């Protein structure tokens, strides 16, 4: 195991009990290969961290912006979606400390690894909350996640790609896009879907994701690019 002091420095939190931080970086696959390991994997901490993250982001948006509920929901989704959390996780070099099976460790650039990185960040938030309380968890989220909000709003990164593609398809050619699952792989807790987006019967683009919704969104983003409808 790597020196956790460096990870604490990366995330800006000194733990009272490092067991919580260790558990936050343990993937299920590691336990499968090391059943004697003294701690559990990070999925329960991820469950807690997800709730803490959503509460703090929601409270921040409610306090700071008088915008309609729909806009606030879109902004929140842009902040807490898997791609954004995986990016932040990588910036904090959390991937250097993840405890996984040998097979998972070799798979560095897949969608599944992005999913693992996002979950680890949420698990770390859960661990911070348990070890340090809500105030420090809020500080961590503000410094590392909420700081992206102004850019998201300014660049309109919160606009849902599926809605955007549907509006443009209806406006330009009078067709409503349809989506079809082309393949799925992996265990239930880490399944990856491949989805195609069609205009009439023509396949425009494909996308992958750890949920059907995520795969559809990825397909819609690529379809906008393929049709040159981004502007």
CATH of the domain at 220: 3.30.160.20
> Which of 119, 135, 154 lies at the terminal end of a domain, its last residue?
154
Q: Is 8 annotated as a binding residue?
A: no
Catalytic pick among 95, 96, 122, 188 = 122
Examine residue 219 and state whether it is found in any structural domain, yes or no. yes
In angstroms, what CA-CA distances link 153 with 43, 58, 174? 31, 15, 29
Closest CA to 140 of 10, 4, 5: 10
Above 80 in pLDDT, residue 130? yes
Question: What residues contact 106, with CB distance under 8 A and at least 6 apart?
Answer: none
Report the C-alpha gap between 140 and 12 in whole angstroms. 8
Secondary structure of residue 112 in the 3-state scheme: helix
Same domain, 79 and 118: yes
Q: Does residue 121 sit in the same domain as residue 168?
A: no
On whether both 114 and 215 belong to a single domain, the answer is no
One domain for residues 49 and 125? yes
Q: Pick the closest to residue 138 from 84, 59, 64 (CA basis).
A: 59
- What average pLDDT score do residues 67-91 get? 92
pTM above 0.95, yes or no: no
Q: What pLDDT sits at residue 24?
A: 98
Decide if 54 is catalytic. no
Do the domain assignments include residue 142?
A: yes
Question: Per residue in 100-125, pLDDT tens?
Answer: 998 888 777 677 888 899 999 999 99
The pLDDT value recorded for residue 214 is 85
**Tally of structural domains, the chain:** 2
> Where does the pLDDT of residue 127 fall: very low under 50, low under 70, confident under 90, or very high at 90 and above?
very high
Clarify whether residues 102 and 36 are in a common domain.
yes
37 and 100 inside one domain: yes
Last residue within a domain, chosen from 95, 125, 154: 154
**Which among 19, 40, 50, 96 is annotated as catalytic?**
50
| pLDDT at residue 1, as a whole number | 62
Are 119 and 79 members of one domain?
A: yes
Looking at the fold, whether 56 and 73 belong to one and the same domain comes out as: yes
> How much is the pLDDT for 231?
67
pLDDT reported for residue 188: 76
Structural domain range at position 197? 161-226
Instruction: Report yes or no: 206 and 182 within 8 Å, Cβ to Cβ.
Output: yes
Q: How far apart are CA 175 and CA 197, in angstroms?
A: 12
Pair 59, 165 in one domain? no
For residue 127, give the CATH number of its domain.
Answer: 1.10.1520.10
Cβ-in-10-Å burial (0-12, 13-18, 19+) of 17 comes to exposed
Instruction: For residue 96, tell me if it sits in a domain.
Output: yes
In a domain, 46, yes or no: yes
Question: Each residue of 141-162: pLDDT tens digit?
Answer: 999 999 999 999 988 888 888 8
Domain termination residue (choose one: 154, 189, 213): 154
Residue 231, in any domain of the structure: no
93 and 165 in one domain? no
Q: Is 8 a catalytic residue?
A: no
Residue-wise pLDDT tens digits, 4-45: 999 999 999 999 999 999 999 999 999 999 999 999 999 999
Q: Is residue 55 part of a domain?
A: yes
Q: Is 119 annotated as a binding residue?
A: yes
Q: Are residues 132 and 80 in the same domain?
A: yes
Q: Are 98 and 205 part of one and the same domain?
A: no
Mean pLDDT across the chain: 92
Report the candidate in 159, 192, 134 with the shortest Cα–Cα distance to residue 77.
Answer: 159
Confidence at 131, pLDDT banded by 50, 70, 90: very high
Average pLDDT over residues 65-87: 92
Q: Report pLDDT for 227.
A: 95
The verdict on whether residue 151 carries a ligand-binding annotation is no
């Amino acid at each position: 195991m790597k020196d956790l002091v460096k990870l604490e420095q990366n995330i800006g939190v000194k733990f009272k009990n490092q067991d919580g931080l260790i558990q936050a970086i343990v993937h299920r696959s590691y336990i499968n290969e090391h059943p004697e390991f003294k701690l559990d994997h990070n999925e329960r901490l991820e469950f807690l961290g997800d709730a803490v993250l959503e509460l703090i982001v929601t409270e921040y948006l409610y306090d700071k912006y008088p915008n309609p509920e729909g806009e606030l929901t879109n902004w929140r989704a842009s902040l807490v979606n898997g791609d954004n959390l995986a990016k932040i996780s990588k910036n904090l070099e959390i991937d250097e400390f993840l405890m996984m099976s040998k097979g998972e460790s070799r798979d560095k650039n897949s969608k599944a690894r992005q999913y693992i990185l996002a979950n680890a960040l949420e698990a770390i938030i859960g661990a911070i909350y348990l070890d340090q309380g809500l105030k420090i968890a809020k500080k961590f989220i503000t410094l590392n996640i909420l700081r992206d909000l102004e850019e998201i709003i300014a660049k309109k990164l919160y606009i849902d790609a599926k809605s955007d593609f549907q509006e443009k398809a209806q406006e330009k050619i009078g067709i409503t896009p349809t989506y079809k699952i082309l393949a799925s792989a992996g265990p239930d807790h880490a399944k990856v879907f491949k989805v195609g987006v069609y205009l009439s019967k023509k396949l425009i683009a494909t996308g992958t994701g750890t949920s059907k919704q995520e795969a559809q969104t990825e397909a819609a983003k690529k379809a906008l690019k393929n049709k040159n409808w981004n502007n």
